[in-house]
Structure 1
């Protein structure tokens, strides 16, 4: 007796458990005027090879559900047994089977319901990865935001046609991740109202998909949103909510990110001791991170370089400008060239830290490099805002210095 590996493979493709397969086959049989004759034992016999050729109506249901010829599902047509059936009976059985299968394959409801499986999930995931890669290079913009929302809608549409609960959960999780990506691009564009709407939607979808990684991502983005709105108490609360998501206990990389975001909330509120303590927790957690752990593409940005970048922000907020400059230099030394937008942001932060120490020429030179790094790509609104902060602080600190005037004359139009 040989196990039917092909049937199990096709069940896995559609994310079907044995119980779900039983229910769907019986639903099909009832819809087509037959009794639901499939049981757990029936499927177990098929999978173990004890039953190698299902009953005619069951074969029709299997073909309709999987949209495959019965032989592709690992079943083997038996040799003719004249003593059991007559040629006329065989002809009747074949005609009944072919008619039932043809009717099933032409029914739109069945076709849409049975086509969604793991390959469809992978297609949506590749779209998510492509959008995240573009964001890493160019930063947030409305085109990327709309692309992410469109892909999220497609994932939800597929979810309604998914065969099994596992596939549905994965599609909910992808829709959540894509909606969070849309929120992130809106946040990078400083479209705070849209970002907030997307984040609330992403949090709901993450719950439906049981996706703790995206749930943490949403809280991280909510903390950033509150910080940019200068609502520092909410920024801290959202960072602490990220720390309470269960995935931080299973994977120290997520814990490190949540601690770093919480540190910025403490620093913005002027709590130096708590901020430095959170940065220490973030560093300790990062040292425990396994680099080969499978994770979603959105968190690819986070590592030692990003932790130093967030450290630079916290230190500057605390008035520790030399430490902020040092952290920015470390971040730039470690940052992968692929993350062009992040490199430009860190460079802008470096310019601010240098300026806040009275290093006018060094600050202007660093700010100039921001435009070189971004090349022909327009500066995302969040980066323009940061350069705007530099411009304001520059003319507050040194309004009469020739270097400051030259920088302002050269770049005022470009960044604004």
Structure 2
């Protein structure tokens, strides 16, 4: 519990300029260098929205460590160099955890990290998880070191601009209370710092979700959402700032809705998605509208309303069409395919899947939304696996689920667990209990890092299917290990 207290008491230190990176830019202007970064990204199949402002932030030291996509691009541009050679701090130094003597994967001790604020988090572009034990979700957990990281990240997300005093009260206490929102008192009209802080909050909540799953993070993430709408109520002086605040609040509502969705709170998720949709319609924001309908379609499928899933996915495609992002349209086609699968309409599902693949093959473009950084070939395979599973074609489902788990970037721990759980269930229903058990054991080994009710529910279903096959190789081990998982961590 001391982590956040100690962090908040440390005086703020000015960022240290990244002189090494500035030297690499040479005589090129920031805009020219940004164009080179985008070109290098395309060469390796990455998508980054680098501009002169981003280059300036790096050189000023505001971004102490790039996100994973930018890291791959920079290392591609400057082969043979490390992040440290490029002037960045080691990733372990900006992770937001309490200092520990252990070394990271690169063998660098925390003591050897950048001497500036070790609690500053990494800059991230994404894209929608966090393990807690059997505790009340409103309370902090003294023995959970990841709780320190989460609370620090969420609090700083609204403090980065220095002027976001409006939201500080919602993020200061680790134990959120029901009257927290009522305690918010805007001290002035919000401006660029508040808008930037809000956008950063969305990125960081999504980062935690990618890593750890939604359970335990949902209720804490609701406090920044209340703060966001307090900022809207305060009113911005400039229309551009107001637009950013509305878009940020809508995206935050979707992120919080997803956390509710993935932790099995479907009615809460539906309310948050509806809130985001209303914000999009009120401000005429087609990108936000498409995102809200996209998640609504996914929720409807999971909630057993497949026809609503189809209609919401089609509405999302109508909103997204003018945006010019083939990858977004591909994901929305997959959402529609999931609805058709739920309706047992194999032809409709196959047609939507074909569109999804054709659109995906067009590649990335500048119009791709930031939140879609999770959508790559692995997610495409994983969502297709879910469609075939719903249609009862277990052989096809297991083939796509296996490919999804193999292709997934290690950064997305939660998705690796999800795809592997899907694989285990498909193999069990296909009649391959030994392979299913082996996949199930791999998922169980990730539960210390990931907490997602969706994944836990899938494992419980797999265990029920495998019960009659206890004598098959490895099945008994899986069933015993699954039974030993604390009940509070299972659905």
TM-score bin (small chain): 0.5 to 0.7
Query: 1:112 aligns to what?
Result: 188
2:305 pairs with 1:224: no
Q: Deviations over 1:316-356 (max 9, x none)?
A: 22222222122122212321111110110000111112112
Cross-structure match for 1:384:
456
1:136 aligned partner: 210
Q: Secondary structure at the match of 2:411?
A: coil
Quote the residue 2:34 is aligned against: none
Q: Are 2:328 and 2:368, in contact at CA under 8 Å, matched by a contact in 1?
A: no
What is the CA-CA distance between 1:134 and the residue it aligns to? Answer: 0.3
Matched, 1:410 2:481: yes
Which runs of structure 2 are paired with 1:234-313 in the superposition (5 Å)? 234-247=308-321, 250-293=324-367, 295-296=369-370, 298-313=371-386
- Aligned equivalent of 1:153: 226
1:346 aligns with 2:419: yes
Unaligned residue ranges in structure 2 (runs of 5+):
1-185
What is the match of residue 210 of structure 1? Answer: 284
Residue number among 168, 174, 177 corresponding to 2:242 in the alignment: 168
Deviation at 1:403, TM superposition (A): 4.0
User: More deviation in 199-208 or 336-345?
Assistant: 199-208
CA distance in 1, matches of 2:473, 2:406: 30
Structure 1 position 174, deviation (Å): 0.6
Shift of 1:139: 0.9
Q: 1:394 aligns with which of 448, 461, 466?
A: 466
Relative to structure 1, the CA distance from residue 132 to residue 285 in structure 2 (aligned partners, 3 Å threshold; closer, same or farther) is same
Q: 1:145 to 1:233 in 2, by over 3 A?
A: same
Over 3 Å counting, the alpha-carbon distance change for 1:274 and 1:111 in structure 2 is closer
CA distance in 2 between counterparts of 1:326 and 1:276 reads 16
Separation in 2, partners of 1:246, 1:227: 20
2:405 to 332, 337, 343: 332
- Partner residue in 1 for 2:112: none
Give 1:152 shift: 2.6
CA deviation after TM superposition for structure 1 residue 293, in Å: 4.2
Q: TM-score, normalised by structure 1?
A: 0.68
Conserved in 1, the CA contact under 8 Å of 2:325 and 2:368?
Answer: no
CA gap 1:339/1:209 in 2 versus in 1, 3 angstroms: farther
Q: Answer yes or no: is the 8 Å Cα contact 2:337–2:353 preserved in 1.
A: yes
Q: Secondary structure at the match of 2:337?
A: helix
TM-score using structure 2 length = 0.58
Q: Aligned residue for 1:358?
A: 431
Secondary structure at the counterpart of residue 373 of structure 1: coil
Contact 1:247/1:254, CA 8 A, preserved across alignment: no
Residue 256 of structure 1: how far off its partner (Å): 0.6
Verify the 8 A CA contact 1:169 1:208 in the aligned structure 2: no
2:324–2:367 contact (8 Å) kept in structure 1: no
Structure with more helix by fraction: 1
**Matches of residues 85-104 of structure 1 in structure 2 within 5 Å?**
none
Q: Which entry has the higher C-alpha Rg, 1 or 2?
A: 1
